[in-house]
Structure 1
Amino acid sequence: MKNIFALEETNTLIDRINKLEPTSKPLWGKMSVDQMLAHCNVTYEMVYDNSHPKPKGLKKTLLKLFVKSAVVNNKPYKKNGRTAPQFLVTDSRNFVKEKARLADYLTKTQSLGADHFDGKESHSFGKLTTQEWNNMFYKHLDHHLNQFEV
């Protein structure tokens, strides 16, 4: 898994994002490019903006037991996988705004660095290692950038 905390890799991801156009079409799935960008921003909103309710009790336990390993391991996501409800984006979004937000989130994540995330509590999965954060951040974004051929 590539290191999202490395400046070179962050720049590579931002370059890939900048290759997207409002007319970019997916190789699979139903999301438009603006929806995909907004969808990818949800991960970072959960880390930085506290704009999504945190799961509690049984729901959080189930997420930790059954979802966490698939999200934080180093195996790529399969095409057309199920999306958690809080990640569903079904309305149109502002392409330029979502693209800029995603690049800004990547820059912020890289600038905070790996040490900032070591042992940091995630929104849904409890404390994660730096490697788990890296895997979660990188593979989700890489999956969707590949979906749009960039």
Structure 2
Amino acid sequence: MDLPNIFSKNIADGVIERINQLTPHTKALWGKMNAAQMLAHCNVTYEMVYTDKHPKAGFLMKLILKWFVKQQVVTDKPYPKNSKTAPAFIIIDEKEFEAEKERLIEYVRQTQVLGASAFDGKVSHSFGVLDANEWNNMFYKHLDHHLKQFGV
């Protein structure tokens, strides 16, 4: 794995420990979201995996995403601060902190329990088929970026 392995229990537990350090009043070091909105934003990644809440990208959009966005998302290269995000990930309304936190923790646990083999060759909502390493990088990098955004 290029980045810490989110499918391993000790790494997933470490991410959950960082999530648990957040409070509704934790301030962002950059960006516009509050802590509850950030948690809801992080939940979108998992909603795209585990629910039908978000429509799948059409053929042309998926092709564009694969060509121009995929390598920014699934590699080990960190996201820059204040980078643009897809419309489905933009959270502007107020969210309930504890509910979003518990949902995110449950998604991290579910992903870890399923393990890398459940994701190897799985089709991404936006990028087509990804290998386990690409899924790991996408999951871990996104969480790590936003937890660092909030100083944890």
When normalised by structure 1's length, the TM-score is 0.99
SS at match of 2:69: helix
Q: Which amino acid aligns with 1:62?
A: I
Q: Which amino acid aligns with 2:90?
A: L
Residue in 2 that maps onto 1:18: 20
SS at match of 1:98: helix
Residue in 2 that maps onto 1:62: 64
Q: 1:141 aligns with which of 114, 137, 143?
A: 143
Q: Which amino acid aligns with 1:124?
A: S
| Pairs within 5 Å for 1:111-126 | 111-126=113-128
Q: What displacement does 1:93 show?
A: 0.3
Residue in 2 that maps onto 1:110: 112
Task: For 1:57 and 1:106, locate their aligned partners in 2 and report how far apart those are by CA, in whole Å.
Answer: 29
1:47 aligns with 2:77: no
Residue in 1 that maps onto 2:31: 29
Q: What displacement does 1:58 show?
A: 1.1
Residue in 2 that maps onto 1:73: 75
Q: Which amino acid aligns with 1:61?
A: L
Q: What displacement does 1:7 show?
A: 0.1
| Runs of 4 or more consecutive aligned structure 1 residues displaced over 4 Å after TM superposition | none
36-45 or 51-60, which moves further after superposition?
51-60
SS at match of 1:47: helix
Q: What displacement does 1:57 show?
A: 1.9
Q: What displacement does 1:50 show?
A: 1.6
**How many percent identity over aligned positions?**
59
Task: For 2:51 and 2:94, locate their aligned partners in 1 and report how far apart those are by CA, in whole Å.
Answer: 21
**May I ask how many residue pairs the two structures share in their alignment?**
150
RMSD, matched Cα:
0.4
When normalised by structure 2's length, the TM-score is 0.98
What 5-or-longer segments of structure 1 have no aligned partner? none
